[in-house]
């Protein structure tokens, strides 16, 4: 399938999302990869993960880049050679890339009941406004996770606690945006976060 969705939150920032329907063989056809990237793909045990990884390269092409324009630092954070800021995500049948002049983060997650099992690991302040009996509970939990994951990628401090350092203020799913804070070393960093739902998934993205 071609590009699924393009979002332009401002003149410096673009989000592109790909729905992964191609086979691994179809994606590999005509794909130009650096040797180290090819080695990484071939070493992946999950074909779904391989396809998600390759669709990120498809998204790069939509932006006018290829695999040679992308590199990773020692913490695994992606960068572009031209200095533009990038963040990457893929989950099951969707992949997403955000590129901007400023620092960014993006995450896509599937709505799954199992998120309730790990909620205690990333929810603290947010528990005060979450209603476990609500039909939207799973969707809200997923949105909170996506917001925090996008902030974690943006802030790029290894080991930052989702539960203790990332706070999401009350929001409604219909709003498709919220405010969140990174509380780090006695200083608070506020961010406006956008999110959206599609086909049983949530995507959140943050930009400085």
pLDDT tens readout for residues 15-31 = 999 999 999 999 999 89
| DSSP secondary structure letters along 3-58 | EEEEEEEETTEEEEEEE--S-HHHHHTT----HHHHHHHHT-S-HHHHHHHHHHHH
Q: Is the pTM above the cut of 0.85?
A: yes
Return the H-helix or E-strand segment holding 80. Answer: strand 78-80
Q: In this model, does residue 1 exceed pLDDT 60? A: no
User: What burial class does residue 74 get, using C-beta atoms within 10 Å of its C-beta: 0-12 exposed, 13-18 middle, 19+ buried?
Assistant: exposed
Average pLDDT, the chain: 96
- Give the tens place of pLDDT for each residue, 83-97: 999 999 999 999 999
Task: For residues 96 and 196, give the distance between their C-alpha atoms in angstroms, rounded to a whole number.
Answer: 12
Partners of 191 in the β-ladder = 180
- Give the tens place of pLDDT for each residue, 142-199: 999 999 999 999 998 988 999 999 999 999 999 999 999 999 999 999 999 999 999 9
> Please, what are the domains in the chain?
3-101 (3.90.470.20), 107-207 (3.90.470.20)
pLDDT band at 123 (very low <50, low <70, confident <90, very high): very high
Return the H-helix or E-strand segment holding 138. Answer: helix 137-155
């Amino acid at each position: 399938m071609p590009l699924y969705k393009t979002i332009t939150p401002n003149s410096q920032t673009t989000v592109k999302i790909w729905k992964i329907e191609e086979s691994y063989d179809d994606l590999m056809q005509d794909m130009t990869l650096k040797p180290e990237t090819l080695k990484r793909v071939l070493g992946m045990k999950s074909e779904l993960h391989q396809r998600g990884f390759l669709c990120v390269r498809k998204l790069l092409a939509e932006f006018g880049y290829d695999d040679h324009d992308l590199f990773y630092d020692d913490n695994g954070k992606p960068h572009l050679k031209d200095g533009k800021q990038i963040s990457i995500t893929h989950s099951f049948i969707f992949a997403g890339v955000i590129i901007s002049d400023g620092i960014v983060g993006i995450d896509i997650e599937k709505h799954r009941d199992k998120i309730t099992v790990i909620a205690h690991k990333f929810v603290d302040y947010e528990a005060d406004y979450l209603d476990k009996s609500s039909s939207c509970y799973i969707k809200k939990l997923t949105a909170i996770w996506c917001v925090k994951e996008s902030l974690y990628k943006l802030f790029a401090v290894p080991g930052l606690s989702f539960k203790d350092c990332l706070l999401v203020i009350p929001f409604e799913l219909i709003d498709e945006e919220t405010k969140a804070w990174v509380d780090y070393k006695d200083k608070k960093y506020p961010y406006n976060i956008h999110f959206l739902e599609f086909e049983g998934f949530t995507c959140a993205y943050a930009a400085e």
